[in-house]
Amino acid sequence: MDIVEQVSRQGAASAREISRATGIPESSLSYLLTTLVSRDWLSPASDRTYSIGPALSRLAVGNPPDITQRRLAMMRAIARATAETASLFIRRGSDVEVLDVEASSHALRFTPQKGMRVPLHSFASGKALLAALPQDLLEEYLATVPRARFTPYTLVDEQSLRDDLKRTRDRGYALSREEHTIGVMGIGVALDSQHSLSVGIPSPRFDHMTERRISDEIKRVLEQMGATA
In angstroms, the Cα distances linking 75 to 7, 17, 137 are: 23, 25, 27
Helix, strand, coil percentages for the chain (3-state, nearest 5): 45, 20, 30
In 3D, which of 159, 100, 90 has the Cα closest to residue 123?
A: 90
CATH number for the domain harbouring residue 83: 3.30.450.40
* Lowest-confidence region among 34-43, 72-81, 161-170, 202-211: 34-43
In angstroms, the CA 160 to CA 165 distance is 9
In angstroms, the CA 90 to CA 197 distance is 9
Q: Residue ranges of the alpha helices (H) in the chain? A: 2-10, 15-22, 26-38, 55-61, 67-82, 124-131, 135-144, 158-171, 208-224
Q: Is residue 229 one of the residues assigned to a domain?
A: no
Do 30 and 53 lie in one domain? The reply is yes
pLDDT, tens only, 160-217: 999 999 999 999 999 999 999 999 999 999 999 999 999 999 999 999 999 999 999 9
pLDDT, tens only, 120-171: 999 999 999 999 999 999 999 999 999 999 999 999 999 999 999 999 999 9
Do 210 and 105 lie in one domain? The reply is yes
Residue 50: give the domain boundaries.
2-61
Do 56 and 74 lie in one domain? The reply is no
Do 39 and 83 lie in one domain? The reply is no
Q: pTM value?
A: 0.72
In angstroms, the CA 179 to CA 137 distance is 23
Do 175 and 98 lie in one domain? The reply is yes
Which of the 8 DSSP states describes residue 120?
G
Reduced to 3 states (helix: H, G, I; strand: E, B; else coil), residue 38 is helix
